[in-house]
Amino acid sequence: MRQQERLAGADFLRATACLLVLVHHLALRLDMRRIPDELGTAAQILRFGNFGVAIFFVLSGFLLAHPFWRALDDGRTMPSLRHYTIRRAARIAPGFWVAATVSFALSLTLLALPLTPELMLRYVSGLLFMSQWHWRTFFPVEADGPLWSIPFEATSYVLLPVCFFLLFRLPLLRQRPLLARFAWLCVIAGVLLAHLLILSVFSLDDIGRGWQYGLQGGAKEWMPRYNPIGFFAVFALGAFAAGVEGMLGRRPSFWFDAAALLALAVAGYRLVISPGGTPEAYGWLEIPYGFPIFPLAIATALVSLCHSQRLGRLLDNAPVRYIAKISFGIYIWQEIILISIQRLDPGSFGVSTDNVIIGWLQSCGLAAALVLLVASFSYHLLERPAIDLGNRLTSPQPNRATPFKVQISHHFN
């Protein structure tokens, strides 16, 4: 129970992240030329729901780094990489593979795309979690653009234990929390330098570059600023926040409630001032989504909510916890549903109505209901069984003479 209390607020931020991304993709289907002037600013802000991707990376780094920090601070050996790998694979691979396969089939049927070697290469590289390394394969499938970030996050899953391995190899860092956190800041600095090297060495030409050339043209527009190393810097900020959280006392404090509110306000402000800039909100070192202000604010909110007196529990209410539970399904299935609605009803999302806002809202309501329904089925029929299998493969076997029940917070699954 104490571990779950320490993670107060994580469900809220996970739910917020997936809903922001959904709002982003809904807003992309709103014809900005036809909306009333007084609603233009609000509509533009909705398009920056893509900041939800940054929340996911910070949150994943924060949650997955906890066991490594605890082991390092206690002077123990590094957590089992076998268990870590099995649980990560069980959590993301089945849902990702099924969504990618359904999207690939829809590309050939609903979108009527020809089966080309390049289309097949993108699909296979996605299934292998290797699509993130080149603009041609950046988007594994045509009918589910959001899947691009899953291989990016898989890279962070690999780099996290690699970087911690370096820390565990230095005996000086064991049971020295401050020194270990400073070492992690050095890791982040090294990652940022590697990102700068990628920007300078792997620049791309302008041939076929731009969203007017489809997803591959958009990928060429994003890269090399969108690269797995740069995104690991965002992930590593979350991991650093986990290290800070582990050094704080167990006793909740009202000051953490205030700090969390302030951090969430800063994150919200950074998002709402984004209209007028690039759609990707490139920040420092051309890392997207308001880096480093936005991810730092989210990381601060995570640490503060874990130790808040009331706010963390208030935000992690029952509806929010359920949205967080099915958040992965919301993320991987939303674009498939939105594209299907548009193809089956070309007049959807206000295209064929005089009142574009009303028509758009009606389609959004239908789409949101379908996304939640499909995500629920995805969680209970596909994701949860895989998670349970991963837990069984990695949980210690109970002693039959003294049976006991092990409870593991779902945050770490």
Query: pLDDT tens for residues 75-88?
Result: 999 999 999 999 99
> Which residues, 6 or more positions from 129, have their beta carbon under 8 angstroms from its beta carbon?
150, 151, 154, 155
Residue 233 lies inside a defined structural domain of this protein = yes
Percent of the chain predicted with pLDDT > 90? 86
Closest listed residue to residue 297, CA positions, set 250, 241, 254: 241
Backbone φ and ψ for 202, nearest 5 degrees, come out as: -110, 40
Position 397 scores a pLDDT of: 61
Confidence of residue 40 (pLDDT cuts 50, 70, 90): confident
| pTM (predicted TM-score) | 0.93
Mean pLDDT over residues 352-366, rounded? Answer: 92
Residue 401 lies inside a defined structural domain of this protein = no
Confidence of residue 405 (pLDDT cuts 50, 70, 90): very low
Position 32 scores a pLDDT of: 87
Mean pLDDT over residues 332-342, rounded? Answer: 97
At 357, which amino acid appears?
I
Residue 404 lies inside a defined structural domain of this protein = no
Residue 89 lies inside a defined structural domain of this protein = yes
> Which residues, 6 or more positions from 291, have their beta carbon under 8 angstroms from its beta carbon?
54, 233, 234, 282, 283, 284, 285
The domain total for the chain is 1
pLDDT digits (tens, 9 = 90+) for 217-235: 999 999 999 999 999 999 9
Asked whether the beta carbons of 306 and 253 are under 8 A apart, the reply is no
* Torsion angle of the four alpha carbons 66, 71, 72, 73, in this order, in degrees rounded to the nearest 10: 90
Asked if residue 247 has pLDDT above 50, the reply is: yes
Mean pLDDT over residues 86-94, rounded? Answer: 96
Q: State the residue range of the domain holding 261.
A: 10-393
Asked if residue 5 has pLDDT above 50, the reply is: no
Residue 189 lies inside a defined structural domain of this protein = yes
Asked if residue 289 has pLDDT above 90, the reply is: yes
pLDDT digits (tens, 9 = 90+) for 191-202: 999 999 999 999
Residue 407 lies inside a defined structural domain of this protein = no
Asked whether the beta carbons of 357 and 35 are under 8 A apart, the reply is yes
CA distance 166 to 315: 36
Residue 217 lies inside a defined structural domain of this protein = yes
Residue 409 lies inside a defined structural domain of this protein = no
At 410, which amino acid appears?
H
Higher-confidence residue of 36 and 96: namely 96
Position 398 scores a pLDDT of: 55
